[in-house]
Structure 1
Amino acid sequence: MPLTDTAIKNTKPGDKPIKLFDGGGLFLLITPAGQRYWRLKYRVLGKEKLLAIGVYPDVGLKDARGKRDAARKLLANGVDPGEARKAQKIAKVERAANSFEAVAREWFARQAPGWASTHASKIIQRLEKDIFPWLGGRPIAEIAAPELLAVLRRIEGRGALDTAHRAHQNCGQIFRYAVATGRAERDPSGDLRGALQPSKHENFASITDPVRVGELLRAIDAFRGTFVVKCALLLAPLLFVRPGELRSAEWAGFDLDRAEWRYFVTKTKTDHVVPLASQAVAILRELHALTGGGRYVFPGRDPKKPMSEAAVNAALRRMGYDTKTEITGHGFRAMARTILHEELEIKPEVIEHQLAHKVADSLGTAYNRTKFIDARIKMMQAWADYLDQLKAGARIIPGKFGQVA
């Protein structure tokens, strides 16, 4: 006789398990402890098997019959429903392991050790905030271009055009990693070229007029913040390295007797040498008395960590400069590049090597940390002398290495 809900509810647990049969191999197993489990008994190649259907009353009588009928259809087609379920579970686990977020985090873990910590932090935060909530759980192989575009346009819609383009770039890197590791067939991000609004790339704010540079240098001299930050401000125009390289500078890389600073440029994956003018050495020797016992030249509040990446820009704002339109920490590089070439008439290739840029030569794009080193040593001292003259308010006549009138 087919089961009824009334019969199920009226059947009390006994000393031994009780089976209430419904037909077609379906039965309800009632344990002495009162649990009620749906089971389906079937045969494959003459061997009897059991398939778990669910727990009553979460799975009601009607739903249990539906699952029984579905399983019997598989049997009619020569498929073992138990093996089919195992395959589904395996596929589900594989889908989770091959989700966009899982692949992205694997890609990030492999790439991050070669990046600057700030760069790595920005990438993972971008993914966690703008990509994972919508694509993270999706199997990466199933994500198509329109789905990715919808997520990127959500970023674009809030006006963050540069972030949208950077997210597009990161997603492309992740998809290509998935292709290389056999988790996807192709990279759909390539189909989105031209689909986003163009990003407005603006140069870092900088001061390149010699008179205004002199005003800035005098303002730095008058800065009343911490000694560590003031030294960073004094050295920023003298060394014109990237802000992240300056703030994370370590004493181990400095040889003040030889007047040089050596470090690894994470952005270009190259070793770099910065010749130190006598003015820079003097500032560093004075600072060494305060921070030389630690790792970092410019330690932060926690001496085990470098100064905040916002410290220099915050100091410039305290001095009254707008870091969006006048000068930013990165702007000292543009200042040096422009004035060294236009006012001091230094050869561009010498300046570019000192900026740790890759310079195209007869052998292709390359960078050599010691190329033009003699010219660079001379240039760095001339640059420091030139800045001293600007700070003093002298009128400078354009010419090689600067000539004071």
Structure 2
Amino acid sequence: MPNRTPTKRKGITDDALAKLAPRKAQYRHGIGSGLYLLVKPNGTKIFRWDYAFGTYTEGKHIGEPIRKTITFGLLSEIKVAEAMEKLTAARKQLKAGIDPLAAKQLGELAPEANGFPRFAKVANGWLTTLEGKSYKTKNRAENMVRYLCEGVERDGIKVPGFGHITTDLVKGSHLSPILVAFENEYETRRRLLPAARDIIDYAVPRGMWPEDYAPFDRLSASKGFADHATENRPAIIEPKPFGELLRKIDSHRADKLKTTRHRHELIGLKLLALTFVRPGNVEQAEWSEIEYGGEVNQWTIPAAKLKMFSQRRKAKKDSAARDLVVPLSRQAVAVLMDLRKLTGNSRYLFPGVSKDDPEKEIGMPTGRLNDALVELGYQGIHCAHGFRSSASTMLNAERVTINGHQSVRWPEQGALIEVQLDHDDASTRAIYNRGGRLTERADLMQFWADKVDAMRDGAQVIKLAA
């Protein structure tokens, strides 16, 4: 970065900025040296600066710079000259290898009168260490911090958080009622406790937590609670009711106004039914992953976006670096061609907007496909993940008759299906060791798409002789 003092453009004055009129959509008004004023539809005007610091360590964009935005204040509170001074300081920090946004947040961790900061300030500092992690990882961590600091409401009863307590006074008795509030939600408990302990690990070396003080060590996410019973996700595995579900997806809101959200959800469900990938891969699918129209019709999901990526990498498995190739059936290609007319200019198949940064494009928010199924009336009957069980069950049951004897339709049929489900065991590794058998997998996916059509139409799939 050039070593020069930031300067503002000609004609930029406080009065001129104050006269900027809001528009229907927020917009930026450049001030100079990267500083700009974000003008929101409600008239709010914010001094901001965009910069890059660090690189992604997870997800599709591993190795790419992390784009960040720091806010210097409202025009109603500070003058443009002060905003330029803050920009100068931030640029000096960046040149010195310091993240200006993290420095700003950590600067708010000033100790209270007793020498230690409040828990909420430390927890927010811990969140800054998660830059470069996947969206899901950061989102879950933010939820855990919210529960710890603000508490949670259950059955009309408010269980308080302890964000306002200074770290030297935090006790296990502050966290245990929150754990009990999630008595029937083991998955939340098992994330909540490690998050609380990670915050301590972050705080101790920074002098924000008393040494040798571990108030959560005796707490457990499982001991003292009823045994956690793993429940299978609801899924329809019989052809007739599955066909009925497909018809409902096709006809949903036929007599009502379909918003962009509804269109995306219904197209997403159709794609999910045809590919039986994990719902998150559909919600976060990008056009750069899709290839069709030539000799190859396939969707290549990067290894870093697969559910088991972190575990495989920790276990140093070869599969950690392996993308999942999803052969695209004719029906899937048709769905994608129609969708490209709507969102082909976007990065994502189903583009959304970040609540925290309206200028940042994201994929479909997590859980939207499940929400759509609930609206269709399938709560507790079939979930978005259930399409995987539907395909697995029905495809594994497929047989052909040869000389009066029934046989599996494809050699190593179960292993081929497991490969498409992105499962990792000895049978799938054997498939990959023999080149991945893409031709047979493409045949399997086309067969499934034809079967989906037949079930939607209420017909039977004609089983061709091998």
Q: TM-score, normalised by structure 1?
A: 0.61
- Classify 1:403/1:314 alpha carbon distance in 2 versus 1 (closer, same or farther; 3 Å): farther
Candidates 212, 223, 226, aligned match of 2:241: 212
Relative distance call for 1:180 and 1:335 in structure 2 (3 A) is farther
- Residues 86-235 of structure 1 aligned to structure 2 (within 5 Å): 95-96=116-117, 100-111=119-130, 113-117=132-136, 119-131=137-149, 134-136=161-163, 145=172, 147-156=174-183, 160=185, 162-175=187-200, 185=212, 189=216, 191-193=218-220, 194-223=223-252, 224=254, 225=258, 226-235=262-271
In structure 2, the CA distance between the partners of 1:233 and 1:107, relative to structure 1 (3 Å rule), is same
Match for residue 386 of structure 1? Answer: 451
RMSD over equivalenced CA pairs, Å:
4.0
The separation in 1 between residues aligned to 2:180 and 2:394, in whole angstroms, is 41
Instruction: State the structure with more CA Rg.
Output: 1
SS at match of 2:307: coil
In the aligned structure 2, how far is the partner of 1:305 from the partner of 1:334? 28
**Which of 249, 263, 273 is matched with 1:237 structurally?**
273
Moved more, 248-257 or 388-397: 388-397
Instruction: Report the alpha carbon displacement of residue 131 of structure 1 after superposing the two structures with TM.
Output: 4.3
Residue ranges of structure 1 left out of the alignment (5+ in a row): 1-88
* Aligned residue among 404, 419, 439 for 1:353: 419
Asked if 2 retains the 8 angstrom alpha-carbon contact of 1:299 and 1:307, the reply is yes
* Alpha-carbon shift at residue 317 of structure 1 (Å): 3.8
Q: Identity of paired residues, percent?
A: 30
- Unmatched segments (≥5 aa) in structure 2: 1-109, 152-160, 310-319, 400-407
Map of 1:249 onto structure 2: 285
* Structure richer in helix, relative to its length: 1
Superposed CA deviations along residues 261-313 of structure 1, whole A, max 9, x for unmatched, are 12331533353322211210111112212221222212348894433445433
Shift of 1:140: 5.5
Does the 8 A contact of 2:119 with 2:149 survive in 1? Answer: no
- Aligned twin of 1:24: none
The TM-score normalised by the length of structure 2 is 0.54
Paired with 2:177 and 2:263, the residues of 1 have a C-alpha distance of: 49
Q: Is 1:276 aligned to residue 328 of structure 2?
A: yes
Matched, 1:342 2:384: no
| Distance in 2 of aligned mates of 1:362 and 1:141 | 53
Task: For residues 222-281 of structure 1, give each alpha carbon's deviation from its aligned partner in whole angstroms, at most 9, with x where no partner exists.
Answer: 233454333222111111122222122111211113211123315333533222112101
Matched, 1:299 2:351: yes
State the distance in 1 between where 2:169 and 2:306 align: 34
Q: Give, in angstroms, the shift of residue 173 of structure 1.
A: 4.2
State the 1:146 CA deviation. Answer: 5.1
Q: The residue matched to 1:120 in structure 2 has which SS?
A: helix
Please tell me whether the aligned partners of residues 419 and 428 of structure 2 are also in contact (alpha carbons under 8 angstroms). no
Shift of 1:155: 4.2
Alpha-carbon distance change, 147 to 276 in structure 1, aligned in 2, over 3 angstroms: same
The 1:311/1:147 distance shift into structure 2, 3 A limit, reads closer
Relative distance call for 1:377 and 1:120 in structure 2 (3 A) is same
- The 1:348–1:168 alpha-carbon spacing in structure 2 relative to 1, beyond 3 Å, is farther
